[in-house]
Structure 1
Amino acid sequence: MADVSTRSWDRLYTTELSNYASNPEDTGTVWFDDSDAEAKMVHFLAELQENGESPVRTILDLGCGNGSLLRAVREALFADGVMDADQRSAPRMLGVDYSEASISLAQSVHNGFAEEDDENAVPITFRVWDMLQGSVDDLDAPDGWDLVLDKGTFDAISLGNSASQDNEDGAGPSVEVQYRARVLQLLRPGGRFLITSCNWTESELCAWMEDAEERARGAWLVQAGRVAYPSFQFGGVQGQTVCTVCFEKRIAAKGAHQSPINHA
């Protein structure tokens, strides 16, 4: 990502880290808190689990900020702590951000809550990692992640970039297209991607994430759910301040021919 953007986020999180050091009750910004997005995302995931959906064991939060979303998800999905050793695998929760100051804040806040954690609580770890340029191998998840979370990171990445399929210099795919390809790399087959945005509508997110070319290559995202928010009406048009959409990674059977996705 651009150095200017990195410095901007570092300044923000450096300030929040300083504020937290002065006042441990000030844990930093919770993005889209005015829309109660974090609680709604967590409730959506908890309902999936209650309905017997594919169990979630590994969770990756893209652009974790202060780490609040991972803590809330852990409380909802892993209330009983680490699973027994004879189960498939122990739960793993990782928050990544390309801002070193963000990871410092997330780790500091997490350490502050650690004293209250049960000894069997699922561990949460944090790592500096660039969503677009970092190596997927660095995350030590060879089988892919069961669940990938995004609350505002796609917004930040796409902010100021042309919503086209090519970079301005024509040298390659836009950051939005790179982002989608990276999400597909990160997810295991059948894995879920839950994203919240204030810059894109639900239909726009689906247009970005459900791509016919990806499907033709044998791995693609398909909408698998949504979160309902209060709507408003202005000038005869109905809308909402944020949207949250769940996608699932599908893969084609070997030798199968895939038809293009119809976005109509």
Structure 2
Amino acid sequence: MPPPKPAHLEPSELGTKEYWDKLYATELANHASNPEDTGTVWFDDSDAEAKMVQFLAELDDEGSLQARTILDLGCGNGSLLRAVREELFAEGLGEKEDTETPRLLGVDYSEASISLAQSVNDDNEDEENEVPITFRVWDMLQGSADDLDCPNGWDLVLDKGTFDAISLGNSQEGQEHNGPSVEVQYRAQVLNLLRPGGKFLITSCNWTETELCAWMEDEEERARGAWLVKAGRVAYPSFQFGGVQGQTVCTVCFEKKVAA
């Protein structure tokens, strides 16, 4: 029997578009006055970005990643995509010139976020790297996967904190109107975005690894012919408090499976 779905998080201003628009407008203004100020790197205190990149590099070395199309959900200032490109495409196209042209896309529903990401990227663009990064405004819950022009699905989808923010919105609003909760809508969209066999790497500070698996691995999706399964995890230093062991963030990798 699959584990029960976790309790919904209490709504917070961090789950509102207004909060993120205001934050990124401030960071955009700060960057304009001081180009060295590139904005917040989320979960930097846990070194999450570097650990995500290292995890992907290890998958790539094993030959189990094959990521030519990479999508970052809620890209913020674009820091994660730049770090991923630096690791996976440090030599540009390298020996992979005869395969699909790489595509790295960051999306966010905040226009100020995309403006910041584009500005920071322009200031730090490596002219010798043949793999460009692009950014566009796109709403994870309201947008269509088709709008992103990746008809075969994305090889790799990334999330560093976006599911957290979505979960802090009105999680039960859809259920109150006999529709799916935002967490369920999110999972369905990830499945729409991924190609069969594609990887989904997500980092969260609001959900434990067990809770992320409960949200993402769903028997109803399996019955519909496409579902997510856990395919790996990132290890972080743990702490113990009150006899309970935990960690400040967790990162889990899922893979999209399809019925034969």
Residue in structure 2 matching 1:149, options 149, 158, 163: 158
Q: Higher mean Cα deviation, 132-141 or 27-36?
A: 132-141
Deviation digits for residues 161-199 of structure 1 (CA, Å, limit 9, x no counterpart): 44x6x7352320000000000000000000000000000
TM-score scaled by length of structure 1: 0.90
SS at match of 2:127: coil
TM-score scaled by length of structure 2: 0.91
Matched, 1:73 2:79: no
Deviation digits for residues 73-103 of structure 1 (CA, Å, limit 9, x no counterpart): 0000001103578622110000000000000
Q: Higher mean Cα deviation, 60-69 or 74-83?
A: 74-83
Partners in 2 of 1:145 and 1:195 — Cα distance? 15
The offset of 1:138, in angstroms, is 1.1
In structure 2, what is the equivalent of residue 199 of structure 1? 206
State whether residues 191 and 248 of structure 1, in contact with CA within 8 Å, keep that contact through their aligned partners in structure 2. yes
Partners in 1 of 2:74 and 2:169 — Cα distance? 18
Partners in 2 of 1:232 and 1:69 — Cα distance? 26
Cα gap change, 1:5 to 1:160, in 2 (>3 Å) = closer
**Structural mapping, 1:132-147, within 5 Å:** 132-147=141-156
Partners in 1 of 2:88 and 2:96 — Cα distance? 18
SS at match of 2:236: coil
Q: Which amino acid aligns with 1:157?
A: I
SS at match of 1:167: helix
The offset of 1:109, in angstroms, is 0.2
In structure 1, what is the equivalent of residue 52 of structure 2? 41
**Structural mapping, 1:1-264, within 5 Å:** 5-82=16-93, 87-114=98-125, 117-162=126-171, 167-253=174-260
SS at match of 1:87: coil
Partners in 2 of 1:195 and 1:86 — Cα distance? 29
Partners in 1 of 2:27 and 2:129 — Cα distance? 30
Q: Which amino acid aligns with 1:118?
A: E
In structure 2, what is the equivalent of residue 257 of structure 1? none
Q: Which amino acid aligns with 1:235?
A: G
State whether residues 27 and 38 of structure 2, in contact with CA within 8 Å, keep that contact through their aligned partners in structure 1. yes
State whether residues 83 and 90 of structure 1, in contact with CA within 8 Å, keep that contact through their aligned partners in structure 2. no
Partners in 1 of 2:161 and 2:254 — Cα distance? 16
Q: Which amino acid aligns with 1:88?
A: T
Cα gap change, 1:65 to 1:235, in 2 (>3 Å) = same
Moved over 6 A (4+): none
Q: Which amino acid aligns with 1:40?
A: K
In structure 1, what is the equivalent of residue 10 of structure 2? none
Partners in 1 of 2:248 and 2:217 — Cα distance? 22
CA RMSD of aligned residues (A): 1.6
Q: Which amino acid aligns with 2:127?
A: D
Partners in 2 of 1:160 and 1:185 — Cα distance? 22
Q: Which amino acid aligns with 1:55?
A: Q
Partners in 1 of 2:247 and 2:160 — Cα distance? 16
The offset of 1:148, in angstroms, is 0.1
Q: Higher mean Cα deviation, 142-151 or 81-90?
A: 81-90
